[in-house]
Amino acid sequence: MKRTIVQFRNSAFRKFIRRHEKYAPILFFIGGFIFDVLTLGRIDRTYDLVMLCLHMTNLSIALYLYNLADDGKWKNTFLERFEEYLPLAIQFFFGALSSAYVIYFSRSVSLSKTVSFFVILIFLLVANEFLKQRISNKYLQFSVYFFISFTFFTFMIPVFIAEINPTVFLISGFISLGSTITLITIIYSLSPSTRLEIHLGKLVALVLSIYVIINLFYFFRLIPPVPLALDEGIVAHNVEKKGNRYIVAYEKNESYLFWRSHRTQFIFRPKEKVYIFSSVFAPTDLEKSIIHRWKWYNDDTMEWELVEDIGYEITGGRDNGFRGYTYKSNIWPGRWKVEVITTEELVLGVIDFEIVLDENLEPKNMVEKIF
């Protein structure tokens, strides 16, 4: 009886997929995205780690099964009945992993230095909707797989070893490169149809090109130093620590400028201090030095000039980020920015503001917020 029910449900699902074949990719795309939005939270949470590892493992298995299906490897086995679902499974895991990375990257309040990499993730997320029609293209298939694999390991390894630096990034890249080429080699050796469709050297060269491009992005500081992220960055008139709380007084932005809580025009009074408050998300047990790099824009030379680096230590594990602040009293009118960076000078975010020195002006919409 139970077997009959399972067969009926499987048949009904197959009929549904075939009837709505045109829209099935969109449904799987939306399903993967919604699943991650509803379930993912912190990258160092056990549930998130398990789900991302399962997504990556299942994606690798689905790619292996799909590429050998054309050779009749699963004929007369229980896997044969699932062959037509494999492209949808691949698409689901591509979408789930890329959307997970978008969720984690979007934690940062500033993407000004890393927007190019973020755009690539958004592109993958949207393009995934149309991938089913091209999933048989093995060059595209393994290129996307390698990019997602690389991002996966750059998240996972720093969390597991509680360390983040360029060496860890390079190690993550090598592991991803090695695992991808190993998977390609196994499929190539076992699948005659794959050997007819692709040139192994050309595919490996394509993967190596993506590897080089990602590393260039990283060393030109176009990729955020994941899994670190700047949760909050505010230019304030005062920051006071009471116990485990930080009380931040700042000028609140107009309500329609919802993407930034503070006003970028800072009304400065003589002898006043200008504070920069930042809250940095870091995984549990990860210890890191954070630097506030104060810069002023020289209108004469049309260049940003370094004024001062002020640092503080962080220890990860707090849901709302590890908090800290720096301040300057010797400051002058003009355009300023504070780059929140690591000791390796990887950019977490940039806080832009303008100092306006006018005794006749009063700060607007002053508020105090507890962090």
CB 127 within 8 Å of CB 99:
no
Residues forming beta bridges with residue 327, ordered by sequence position = 275
Read off the pLDDT of each residue in 37-60 and give the average, rounded to a whole number.
83
What is the predicted pLDDT for the residue at 116?
Answer: 59
Query: Tell me, what amino acid is at 22?
Result: K
Question: How many CB atoms sit inside 10 A of residue 9's CB?
Answer: 10
| Cα(182)–Cα(242) distance, integer angstroms | 54
| DSSP assigned state of 365 | S
Read off the pLDDT of each residue in 212-218 and give the average, rounded to a whole number.
88
53-62, 73-82, 281-290: range with highest mean pLDDT: 53-62
- Residue 276: pLDDT band with limits 50, 70, 90: very high
H or E segment at 68?
A: helix 46-69
DSSP characters for 91-144?
A: HHHHHHHHHHHHHHHTTSS--TTTHHHHHHHHHHHHHGGGGGGGTT-HHHHHHH
Instruction: Give the pTM.
Output: 0.74
- Mean pLDDT is lowest, of 64-68, 84-88, 196-200, for 84-88
What is the set of domains in the chain, with CATH numbers? 2-219 (no CATH), 229-370 (2.60.40.10)
Read off the pLDDT of each residue in 152-160 and give the average, rounded to a whole number.
89
What is the predicted pLDDT for the residue at 7?
Answer: 44
Residue 316 has pLDDT above 60, yes or no: no
pLDDT higher at 329 or 185: 185
Read off the pLDDT of each residue in 251-268 and give the average, rounded to a whole number.
76
